[in-house]
Amino acid sequence: MNVSYAWLKAFVDFDLEPRELRDVLTQRVVTVDDVVPLRADLAPIIVAKVVECAPHPDSDRLSVTRVDAGTGELLDVVCGAPNVKAGRSYPFAPVGTTMPNGMTIERRKIRGTVSAGMLCSARELGLGDEHQGILELDVDASPGTPFLQAVPVGDTRLVLDVNPNRPDLLSHLGVARELAAALGKGTRWLPRTGARDFLGELTREQETMTRQLLDELPTALAGERLDASAIAEAVTSVVGKEGEGAVSLIEAVRTMPDRPRHRGAAEGETGGVRVVLEDAQGSPRYCGVVIRGVKVGPSPRWLADRITAVGGRPINNVVDATNYMLHGFGQPMHAFDVQKLAGPAVLVRRARAGERLVTLDGVERALTPAMTVIADAERAQALAGIMGGRDSEVTEHSADIFLEVANFDPRLTRSTRRALGMSTDASYRFERGVDVEWTPFWLTHAVALITQVAGGAAAEDVDLYPEPRATTPLRLRVARIARVLGAPIAAQEAIALLRSIGFIVEWVPGTEMLHGDQELMVVPPSWRVDITQEVDLIEEVARLHGFDAFSSELRPFRVGTVPDAPIELLASRIRATLANTGLFEVRPMPFVSGEEGHVRVRNPLAENEAFLRRSIIESLTKRAEYNLAHMQGDVRLFEIGNVFAPSSGRLPHEEVRVGALIMGARRPPHFTEPKPPPFDEWDAKGLAELIAETAFPRRDVELVSGEGGALWGVHVDGRSVGAVARVALDAPVWAAAAFGVEMTLEGVSSADVAPPGRASPREVAGPRGPAPVAPFRALPVTPAAEFDLALLVPNDMPVAQVEAVLRRHAGELLERLALFDEFRGGGLPAGMRSVAWRLTFRHAERTLRDKEVTGRREKLLRALEEELGVRQRTT
Amino acid sequence: MTLNDLLDAARSLERDGRELIARAARADELAAARTALVGRKSGRLTELMKSVPGLPADARREAGAAVNRAKETIEAALSAREAELRSSGPAALQLDLTMPARRVWRGAVHPVTIVIDEIRDIFRELGFTIAVGPEAETEWYNFGALNFPADHPAMDMHDTLYLTDTTLLRTHTSPVQIRTLQAYPPPIRVLVPGNVYRRDFFDPSHAPMFSQIEGLSVDDGVGFVDLKATLVHFANRFFGKRPTRFRPSYFPFTEPSAELDVQCGVCRGSGCPTCKQTGWVEILGSGMVHPAVFEACGVDSERYTGWAFGMGPARVALSRWGIPDIRLLYDSDVRFLEQLAQ
């Protein structure tokens, strides 16, 4: 939402610079994303002082001046203006400046004298038509000061980030209301409350006031200040009614009378055009008026400037006036050319199946009965609340217009504009909620504006409002404010704060003196569609009180009942281990290209990433390939993340897994080892054991060879948790082999904890003691005895089988069995390899005798021979 | 061999021996010299001694004396050099100590993890525990229970990746608030880190998946002042003591809602491109838990109040390391990861 600083000033009297305004709005009302000076084209212009001035030797008209532009040296500047004088300051365009008309200032000779820039007239700066002389500056600014800083010319645009719950801030009026409250001022032209919401007899007063205001509107819009006192008086007379007590207030709401004219009706007539509101769901209130005899043409300067200031493009006086109403007061409007309306009639109805409409943007739209349209007697002429139709557009040939000032349903507007893939300033406001009570007020206002800028005469308007909005006062407990905020706010302050932004606040009778049980009755103004419950009011009180006014002293707290999620602690441990092992943690996207058996995203960002990964390695593979493409062959990555598999339930089966991928040099190159060997299977196996031992401490970890086509399956307590595998990569020839390890750490429960609206509290477990550990074993005090066994093992016999025999027969004194060598080739029988183990024996209490050791050795050799046919290597 | 030959040989042995010993720069070289000169099996002195008995008897005395002299000279030189090497330290080993060390590969956790861990550590001091939940969620947990109005512009802030009509990839970590509130009675103080998804195309500041961390505190008597105090304390611990401010904001699941800014660390408040000239940098969104959220979880909203906040660790990482493009965090380029690990 763009707000013009100057336009805002037309509503509220304030002395803030744009940046100060930004800070006030940001902290109290709405975040200001950006502050844009609109005459940025004048940024290169600086203030310069003419130090000397002499007639040009070769010209009667020209002067040669010496100019101080703050550069430290005086510049020679030739000037043709009659009013140039030494000692005065002027806007100066240095060499290189691009002027608003597109001309670039160059260093050039004028009648033999070099000129280093140009002293500018108002017209040259685009600041008016004055071109008889250069613009004399009546400011103290020192030479070199940017012109825009010294002279307040040009508007400033504030870009507001309006939250979806605050459509009332989508207009200058809305921002002005809040700003006025923040500064303790009133807004011009308008009563500060939607008092008519509850006090029916005010309708007439309001209209009187409106007429008064509108009489003076043209003057105000032309830039002259409006005398606000008369209005202020009228406003007070309205607002003054608030004091009569809650009972009368509630009574007033209940008995709110109809608006004298068409209120309650669904059909009417204006200036010979029949208006029928058939779809009151799509349009709760529909007002319109025929204005005959307008002269469509360019807008006056002030109006065009307003439209430009908020980023719009002036089109013609009628369209600009409707846009002015939208940006100024938040009420979207649309003007139809009456000549183009068959009937002439205006019908608010649902589109017919198959009906089509070419909208203003020239696009032909296919409509459905879910969409509300504005039709003439024959066909759709506009998309309600979104965009007009091309065929009934107001053009320079139009003379009679039908001005629509209506309210459209937020949801229907939203669903229609989404279905058609479009968004406009109007739909943006309607889908958030436009004030339904002020519709005819803005119509009157708009009529005044249009007849002023385009002429014409308005017929009597039509106001179709079949089911007026019901207003229910909200209850606000003063004690509840303190409870939610944690700090008491006095009732009187809450009342004042809410009233400052147009809320009607009264005591609930009899509670005023009940300390601790004070209650207020509050009617939000009709433009605050977001205020529907007590907590909404508490937010307003807190916001207006000022968030920064609250204490920031930490208070005691109770320890929570929720235990730490074990997976998080585990993940931290694994991350630390793998990082220390030389791997890098990564956080890649979990999207993969499609394959059978993957969960599909229904509305993916890209078709080649439309599925969710089933394994971490799928992501790491792509990341490794990315690195190879960047000539990085040493890749050591890991991730702890979620994977998804299709399930028969509502949600995918989700697991938290750890995955790692290693390839390339096992160690960094060193001058003692310029080409370290690449990672191989044994590194991958070691990594898997490390991860498993970290992830499953004190559990039985086993790597099962060749399981499921992998190198190893990883089993914990006999249950498969993952695998180690070679990873096939799309890799260049120089790349080393890649190995992947992946293990499931935890299944993720996606089941509902409890049905909506219900809790299912778990038993809160008390604090847990330390995890069990393996007890200490005494350090040995006796020497160990060792021997090596080099055995001829058939190539196809797993060493695990040999080790099993060794362990079985070694007896309980075997302390350690370590495979330390494998040799294949030269001198060995075909199909055999030599594998060597070192066996370490120890008796806890005494030194082993040589005989005991040799006895064991012989026993083992016998057993190997008998059970496996394995013998000692002899050569 | 004549006596003269032998005497010559003894002299040259003495001379060569001294030279060889002097040249020995390291203990192993000295040991090799010792073996070559006086080694029992094939040292030159041993060879020389073997030829003494072959000389005529009258020459043996003189020859023996010469050999003994050579032996003493060499032994003395050996022990002198040995002492020298020992005393003069590693320089004598002639290692170029400026040569590079032998290292192992160095890895690192991800920058986003570093940020999450720091946030976690601060909130742990304040009694928060860690809670997690699934990334694939139902619409009810992600939106309905969090008071998102159906088909409302508030949904535009959460462009969602759907799996089916009613299931989706969570757009924030807030579903874990609901799961926690349903599963545990107050008091609740939890911190929820996790990945969330938005239907945002990759660009320098957006990714379709990113991490979020949020906190929830619920108890009898918790108010906005507790939200403010805790988050200001956090901001001071995390960013250093800098001015903070709260701005009005809107989230369907909190009310009042506020965003927290800290003073821009680059310009210290005077305005710069980093803070878009405002002097402030937004760090988190927060608010009091909306009563509708409590009701959705079967928690008595009259009795219990609470506050919540959420922030994006990736954004913190970008600004802390001056990373210009969020994609660098997800590309997994080892050059990037290595550089940040330094």
Question: Are the beta carbons of B94 and B26 closer than 8 angstroms?
Answer: yes
Give the strand pairing for A584-585 and A635-645: parallel
Which of A431, A601, A760 is the closest to B183 by Cβ?
Answer: A760
Contacts of A553 in chain B (CB under 8 A): 225, 229
Q: Are A562 and B291 an interchain contact pair (Cβ–Cβ within 8 Å)?
A: no
DSSP B258-296: EEEEEE-TTTTTS--GGGTTSSEEEEEEEEEEPHHHHHH
The angle at the Cα of A807, spanning A806 to A813, to the nearest 5 degrees, equals 115
List of chain B residues whose C-beta atoms are within 8 Å of the C-beta of residue A651: 134, 136-138, 163, 167
**Does residue B296 surpass a pLDDT of 80?**
yes
Of the given ranges (A216-220, A803-807, A842-846, B62-66), which has the lowest mean pLDDT? A216-220
Q: Which long-range contacts (CB under 8 A, 24 or more apart) does B271-280 make?
A: B274/B319, B276/A33, B276/A34, B277/A35, B278/A22, B278/A26, B278/A32, B280/B245
- The continuous run of DSSP H or E covering A20 comes out as helix A18-28
How many residues are there in chain B? 342
Q: To the nearest whole percent, how much of chain A has pLDDT over 70? A: 90
What is the β-pairing status of strands A653-663 and A635-645?
antiparallel
A468: exposed, middle or buried (Cβ count in 10 Å: 0-12, 13-18, 19+): middle
Rounded-to-integer distance, Cα A562 and Cα B186, Å: 9
Band (pLDDT 50/70/90 cuts) for residue B66 is: confident
Q: Break chain A down into helix, strand, coil percent, rounded to 5.
A: 30, 25, 45
Instruction: Check residue A322 and give its pLDDT.
Output: 95
| A782 CA: distance to closest CA in chain B (Å) | 34
How far does B84 lie from chain A, in Å, by closest CA?
A: 28
Instruction: Choose, out of B96, B184, B251, B293, the residue to mutate when testing the contact with A (most A CBs < 10 Å).
Output: B184
Q: How many of the other CB atoms lie within 10 Å of CB of A245?
A: 13
The reported pLDDT for the residue numbered B92 is 53
Least confident of A7-21, A279-293, A328-342, A671-685: A7-21
* Structure-model confidence comparison of residues B5 and A450, the more confident one: A450
Most B CBs within 10 A among A552, A613, A648, A745, hence the mutation to make, goes to: A552
Cβ neighbors of A183 (< 8 A, separation 6 or more) are A12, A14, A24
pLDDT of residue A875: 62
Looking at the complex, report in whole angstroms how far the Cα of residue B79 sits from the nearest Cα belonging to chain A: 32
Does A565 sit within 8 Å of B131, measured CB to CB? yes
Alpha carbon B259 to its chain's center: 31
In whole angstroms, what is the distance from residue A630 CA to residue A642 CA? 27
Q: Quick one: average pLDDT of A371-376?
A: 96
Angle between helices B57-87 and B3-23 (to 10 degrees): 0
Measured in angstroms, the CA of B218 and the nearest CA of chain A are apart by 9
Q: Which two tokens stand for residue A168?
A: 């009332």
Question: How much of chain B, in percent, has pLDDT values that exceed 90?
Answer: 59
Cβ contact, residue pair A561, B276, below 8 Å: no
Is the CB of A552 less than 8 angstroms away from the CB of B233? yes
What integer best gives the mean pLDDT of chain A? 86
Angle of CA points A436, A439, A440, to nearest 5°:
140
Angle CA A696–A702–A704, to nearest 5: 135
pLDDT value of position A616: 96
Instruction: Give me the pLDDT at residue B87, please.
Output: 75
Nearest residue of chain B to residue A627 (CA atoms): B333
Q: Are residues B276 and A33, on separate chains, in Cβ contact within 8 Å?
A: yes
Is the distance from CB of B59 to CB of B3 less than 8 angstroms?
yes
Q: Is A37 exposed, middle or buried (0-12, 13-18, 19+ CB in 10 A)?
A: middle
Helix (H) / strand (E) containing A108: strand A108-110
Among candidates A751, A652, A82, which has minimal Cα distance to B164? A652
**pLDDT > 70: what percent of chain B?**
98
What is the rounded (10 degree) CA torsion for A555, A560, A566, A570? 10
- Report chain A's terminal Cα–Cα distance, integer Å: 90
Residue A717's alpha-carbon distances to A697, A721, A800, B186, in angstroms, are: 11, 10, 18, 37
When pLDDT is cut at 50, 70 and 90, the band that residue B90 belongs to is low
**Among candidates A336, A338, A344, which has minimal Cα distance to A318?**
A336
Measured in degrees and rounded to the nearest 5, phi and psi for residue B62 equal: -65, -40
Task: Give the chain A residue whose CA is nearest to the CA of B116.
Answer: A572
pLDDT digits (tens, 9 = 90+) for A140-192: 778 888 887 777 667 899 999 999 999 999 999 899 889 988 888 755 444 33
Encoded tokens for A406: 């209506």
Q: With CB atoms and an 8 Å threshold, state whether A759 touches B135.
A: no
Using the beta-carbon criterion (under 8 Å), do B249 and A31 form an inter-chain contact? Answer: yes
Q: Cβ contacts (< 8 Å) between B291 and chain A: which residues? A: 533, 535
* Residue B108: predicted pLDDT: 95
pLDDT confidence of residue A231: 35
- Answer with the residue of higher pLDDT: A257 or B68: B68
Could you tell me the CA-to-CA distances from A796 to A152, A801, A802, A826, A831 in Å, in that order? 92, 11, 12, 18, 8
User: Best interface-test mutation with A: which of B179, B203, B224 has the largest number of A CBs within 10 A?
Assistant: B224
Interface contact A560-B189, CB threshold 8 A: yes
Chain A environment of B229 (Cβ under 8 Å): 551-555
Cβ–Cβ gap B224/A757 under 8 Å = no
For A340, phi then psi, to 5°, come to: -95, 0
Asked if A538 and B259 come within 8 Å (Cβ–Cβ), the reply is: no
Phi, psi of B179 (to 5 degrees): -60, -40
Place of tokens 């846009």: A323
DSSP code, position A875: -
Tell me the mean pLDDT in the region A411-425: 94
Report, as an integer, the average pLDDT of A57-75. Answer: 84
Chain A nearest C-alpha distance from B231 (Å)? 9
Q: What value, to the nearest 5°, has the Cα angle with vertex B327 and ends B322 and B329?
A: 65
Q: How far is A652 from chain B (nearest CA, A)?
A: 7
- Among B185, B201, B226, select the one facing A486 at the smallest CB separation: B226
A161 interaction partners in chain B (CB closer than 8 Å):
none
**Sheet of strand A46-55, all strands in order from the earlier edge strand to the far edge:** A74-79, A63-68, A46-55, A89-94, A117-119
Burial of A795 (0-12, 13-18, 19+ CB in 10 A): exposed
Q: Which of A324, A276, A271 is nearest to A294 (CA)?
A: A271
Q: Are B167 and A650 in contact (CB under 8 A)?
A: yes
**What is the per-residue pLDDT for A247?**
25
* Mean pLDDT, residues B209-226 taken together: 96
Which residues from A are below 8 Å from B125, CB to CB? none
Judge whether residue B309 has pLDDT over 90.
yes
Residue B15, classed as helix, strand or coil, is helix
Nearest by CB to residue B129, choosing from A562, A612, A630, is A562
> Is the per-residue pLDDT at A209 higher than 50?
no
Res A768 pLDDT > 80: no
Of A705, A867, A686, A858, whose CA–CA distance to A793 is shortest? A867
pLDDT for the residue numbered B223: 97
Residue A567 has pLDDT above 90, yes or no: yes
Per the listing, tokens 């208070």 go with: A555
Q: Give the residue ranges of DSSP H helices in A455-551.
A: 478-485, 491-500, 534-545
Tell me what pLDDT residue A400 has. Answer: 95
Interface contact flag, B138 A603, Cβ < 8 Å:
no
User: For A649-680, how does the pLDDT look when each residue is reduced to its tens digit (9 = 90+)?
Assistant: 999 999 999 999 999 999 999 999 999 999 99
Helix axes B111-125, B313-321, angle to 10 degrees: 110
Q: Give the closest residue to A479 by CA, choosing from A431, A423, A518, A528.
A: A518
Q: Chain A: nearest CA to B211, how far in angstroms?
A: 9
Query: Which positions in chain B touch A658 (Cβ < 8 Å)?
Result: none
Contacts for A300 with CB less than 8 Å, ≥ 6 apart: A317, A453
Q: Where are the alpha helices (DSSP H) in A673-714?
A: 681-695
Cβ pair A600:B163 closer than 8 A: yes
Q: Report the pLDDT value the prediction gives residue B65, as an integer from 0 to 100.
A: 83
Indicate whether A217 pLDDT > 70. Answer: no
The encoded tokens of residue A623 equal 């990341």
Residue A409: pLDDT band (50, 70, 90) is very high
In this prediction, residue B291 carries a pLDDT of: 97
Q: Which of B134, B185, B219 sits opposite A750 (nearest CB)?
A: B134
- Looking at the DSSP bridge assignments, the partners of residue A814 are A841
Radius of gyration from C-alpha coordinates of chain B:
40
Helical pair A478-485 and B224-239, crossing angle rounded to 10 deg: 20
pLDDT band, very low/low/confident/very high, at B176 (cuts 50, 70, 90)? very high
CB contact under 8 A, B297 and A759: yes
Give the distance from CA B53 to its chain's centroid.
74
SS3 B11: helix
Cβ pair B298:A759 closer than 8 A? yes
Q: Mark out the alpha helices in chain B (DSSP H runs).
A: 3-23, 27-38, 44-51, 57-87, 111-125, 139-142, 175-183, 224-239, 291-296, 313-321, 327-331, 334-341
Which candidate, A530, A522, A474, places its Cα nearest to that of A494? A522
Smallest CA-to-CA distance from B20 within B7, B10, B5, B30 is with: B30
